[in-house]
Structure 1
Amino acid sequence: MTDFVQTNEIKKSVRTLTTPIQDIATFNSIVESLIASNPLGCVSYMSAGVSHPGIEKTKEAYTVRLIYQDNEANIVGNGMHRFESLAGYNNGASALLADTALSAAHGGIAAHDIENDTFSATIKCSDPNSEIYGLLLSRDKVTLSSYEDDSILTKVETWTDSVPELA
C-alpha cells in the first residue's frame, strides 16, 4: 500500500475582532461594500461551463435571540431563531416580537437581545493567480480559508485594516 503525499499547502487564517460588529446594518454594509467594490481584486472565472463573478456571497446566516421577561424584569424564557437571509432576519425578528401567543407561553414579554444576535456571510473569491478561496465574515471574526499564496492573506489583511469595524 502506498502513502498519501501532500501536494500543496492549503492555509486558513483567522482575525478575531477586538469588538464585535455592533449591528446587522453595519455588518451588511461591510459585506455589500466588499462585494461591490471588490478591493481584493478578484476576477471572474468559469467552472463546469458556468461563468462566476470574481467575488460572490455564497451563504449567509442570521440568528435572532430573544429573551422573555416578567413584570419584575426577571428572565423567564428565551428563544433563538436562525434565518438564511437578511430579509428573513428582519421580518422574523418583527414577527417574533409581535407574537403574543409565544410571549404568553413564556410567561413574559419578548425583547430582542440584539447584542447576542449572530450573523455571518461566506464570500467566494477568485484571485488573479487562479486560486479560489473563501472569506467568512461573522460578527466577531474574519476567517480566510483555502488559500496557498501569502499575497492573498496580505490583500485580505490590507482590506480588513481599512475597515474600522474589522480591527
Structure 2
Amino acid sequence: MAAKTVRLIVNGSPVAVQVEEDRTLLYLLREVMGLTGTKEGCGEGDCGACSVLLDGELVNSCLVLAIQAEGREVLTIEGVGGADQLHPIQQAFIEAGAIQCGYCTPGMVLAAKALLAKVPNPSEEEIRRGLSGNLCRCTGYQKIVDAVKLAARPREDN
C-alpha cells in the first residue's frame, strides 16, 4: 500500500508524517513518531490502553486509521503534564495509589481528562461510566475512581 503524508497536530505541535494508508493512528504514534506512552493492549478497541484524545474526544487509536487524523488534533499521554510539572490528574493518580504496573495508566489518565472536561464534578457513577472503556488488571478500579475524584476536587473551588 502506498504511503501518504498525514498532517496533524500532536501534543500541540504541527507535524507531517509519512504513513501507509492502512496503518492505524496507534501505529503512527508509536512506530512512526516514537510516542510509546500510548500502549497496544488488545488491538480491537476493547481495553483502552491505546486511548488518546482526538479533537478532545476519547478514542481507541487502534481503531482509527492514521489518515483519518488528517488536519485533526491528537493529545497523547506525552502531551499531558511532564516530569517537572505533572498534570493534576497525574498527581491525583499518584496520591490515590492508582498506579501499579502502569500499563493502563496513560489511557485511564486521558479518559479522566476527557470526562473532567465535560463533567467537572462527576459523581462516582459518572466516573465509572467515563472510565468504562479502559481495563485495568491490577488495581481493582476503586483507587482509579478515587484518583479522578481527587483530580476533580480543585475544580469545585472555582
- The TM-score range, normalised by the shorter chain, is under 0.3
More helix by percentage: 2
Choose 1 or 2 for highest CA Rg: 1
- TM-score normalised by length of structure 2: 0.26
- TM-score normalised by length of structure 1: 0.25
Greater length-normalized contact order (CA 8 Å, ≥ 6 residues apart):
1
